[in-house]
Amino acid sequence: MKMTMTQKILADHCGKRELQAGEFVHANLDLVLGNDITAPVAIQSFEEINTKSVFDKKKIALVPDHFTPNKDIETANLVKKVREFAQENEIENYFEIGQMGIEHALIPEKGLVVSGDVVIGADSHTCTYGALGAFSTGIGSTDMAVGMATGKCWFKVPSAIKIVLTGELQDWSSGKDVILHLIGKIGVDGARYKSLEFTGQGVKSLSMDDRFTIANMAIEAGAKNGIFEVDEKTLEYVKEHSVREPRVFTADEGADYDEIIHINLDDIEPTVAFPHLPENTRTFDDIPDIEIDQVIVGSCTNGRLRDLKVTAEILKGHTVHPKVRMIIIPATQKIYLEALKEGYLETFIKAGAVVSTPTCGPCLGGHMGILGINERAVATTNRNFIGRMGHKTSEIYLASPAVAAVSAITGKLSTPRTFEGLATL
């Protein structure tokens, strides 16, 4: 039987030679992940299971990142619960203040996921690790509890959509524009409970940061997971970050896909998702003047070093518009330090932006940049639902770091391709 990448990984982890879409399987896990919102609920369920210990203290990661540093007493108590559980169970991969980062940037950086892994996380953007050729998906807190106790999780094997990438991204376009283009094409339910499998000669031109961004937002198309074909760039990243050996699973020639979508990267334009769904995408030949109040560069989608580099290149020598608040959030402490060494933080501050400690913060309307009545934000985050970042009348425009940075300068939605004074990347 011909199988997709996802089907092969799941078959390997449940001890079967072959699987087909729609089957239910019980698979072994390589990593179980939780944060300060989802882990406390999972811990309560874990305690109700009445097991003596976690299945493997090396294969569980707990990362308080949504409300860290704690914004109030309630969130402080949530993190306290997670911290104490990690200490009691000798969880090796617990990352908080000083070591922490936004979980989906931190986990690959720490080398905790490699190609061929099966990963579950009680956070929908766990699908990020598909950039490494792993099967990773978001689950509920109860499944997280069972995963911590048994090292296993059940799955319905997803069918798949094949995304064939050709060409190469042009100046000021990025992985964010690719995934927004795809979501705009198929809709927020276009890949519902399916695997988005990215392949084609265009993959090699994408940076790992581009791939992380694309895989991260697979869930915004309703996908069970997003996964990239493993190439030399993937293996170099894994070798640099992890001591574990990757396992490469490639789709069979003639594997069954529900649909095959071709995307020529040469044609990808800077793209913006208008409120209040990621599928409401437009390019700048169809965008009127829209004044903004706030710009966010960061999140598990676009808080990596290359995102900060692009932002700094645009801001250098310019000033944030006086009516705009610009908040920049490096995704991890390591990225923060590297940005400091490269001089990016100085550029941000001189331009009039503020730099935050790593946190999810404003992405989910938590803290560090909540929107008020009728305010508009350009954000490099992944969701723009009603009230997502603050008041229910506020609006979020999802975009790349390049679009966000130029918009911060002009005070309105703007594209770097027509902004005077910018060199090509």
pLDDT digits (tens, 9 = 90+) for 218-255: 999 999 999 999 999 999 999 999 999 999 999 999 99
Whether residue 425 is predicted with pLDDT greater than 60 in this model: the reply is no
- Model confidence over 347-382: pLDDT tens digits? 999 999 999 999 988 888 888 899 999 999 999 999
Predicted pLDDT of residue 68: 85
Domains of the chain: 5-265 (3.30.499.10), 272-418 (3.30.499.10)
User: What pLDDT is recorded for position 421?
Assistant: 62
pLDDT class for 173, splitting at 50, 70, 90?
Answer: very high
Q: Over pLDDT 70: what percentage of the chain? A: 99
> How do residues 47-73 score in pLDDT, each as one tens digit?
998 888 999 999 999 999 999 888 899
Of 65-79, 129-143, 317-331, which range is least confident? 65-79
Total-model pTM: 0.95
Mean pLDDT confidence for 185-206: 97
Rg (the chain; Cα; Å):
21
Which pLDDT score, from 0 to 100, does residue 422 have?
67
With beta carbons less than 8 A apart as the criterion, state whether 229 and 250 touch.
yes
Q: Which residues contact 263 (CB under 8 A, 6 or more apart)?
A: 163, 164, 165, 166, 178, 181, 182, 202
* 184 pLDDT above the threshold of 60: yes
Determine which of 106-120, 164-178, 319-333, 359-373 has the lowest per-residue pLDDT on average: 359-373
Predicted pLDDT at 298: 95
